[in-house]
Amino acid sequence: MKVLIHETQGTAADCVAGLFAERLAQQPETVLGLATGGTMETVYERLIARFQAGEMSLAKARSFNLDEYVGLPPDHPCSYWHYMREKLFNHVDLRPDHAFLPKGDAPDAEAEAARYEAAIVDAGDIGLQLLGLGANGHIGFNEPTSSLTSLTRIKTLTRSTREANARYFETFDDVPRLAITMGIGTIMRAQEVVLLAFGAGKAEVVAQMIEGPVSAACPASILQMHRKVTVVLDQAAASRLALRSYYEEVHPEVRAPAI
Ligand SMILES: N[C@@H]1[C@@H](O)[C@H](O)[C@@H](COP(=O)(O)O)O[C@@H]1O
| pTM for the whole structure | 0.95
Looking at the 3D structure of the chain, how many domains does it have? 1
For the segment 143-154, the average pLDDT, to the nearest whole number, is 98
What pLDDT is recorded for position 245? Answer: 83
In a domain, 105, yes or no: yes
* Closest ligand 1 atom, residue 67 Cα: 1
Q: What does the pLDDT average to over 109-132? A: 98
Residue nearest (by alpha carbon) to ligand 1 atom 14: 37
**From CA 99, how far away is CA 87, in angstroms rounded?**
13
Taking alpha carbons only, the member of 139, 128, 131 closest to residue 21 is 128
Residue 63, phi then psi, degrees to nearest 5: -135, 145
Cβ atoms of 142 and 179 within 8 Å: the answer is no
Indicate whether 255 belongs to any domain: no
Inform me whether the pLDDT recorded for 258 exceeds 90: no
81 Cα–ligand 1 center, Å: 14
- Tell me whether residue 87 is in a domain: yes
Active-site residues: which are they?
Answer: 67, 136, 138, 143
Q: Over the stretch 228-240, which tens digit does the pLDDT of each residue have? A: 999 999 999 999 9
Structural domain contains residue 121: yes
Cβ within 8 Å of residue 129, ≥6 positions away: 32, 33, 187, 190, 192, 193, 194
- Identify whether 256 is part of a domain: no
259 lies in some domain: no
Residue 257 lies in a domain: no
How far does the centroid of ligand 1 lie from the alpha carbon of residue 206, in Å? 14
86 belongs to a structural domain: yes
CATH number assigned to the domain comprising residue 223: 3.40.50.1360
Which mutation among 43, 133, 167, 193 tests ligand 1's pocket best, with the greatest number of atoms within 8 A of CB? 133
Q: Measured in angstroms, how far is the CA atom of residue 198 from the centroid of ligand 1?
A: 11
Name every protein residue with a CB atom under 6 angstroms from any ligand 1 atom. Answer: 35-39, 66-67, 132-134, 140-141, 161, 165
Domain boundaries, position 150: 2-250
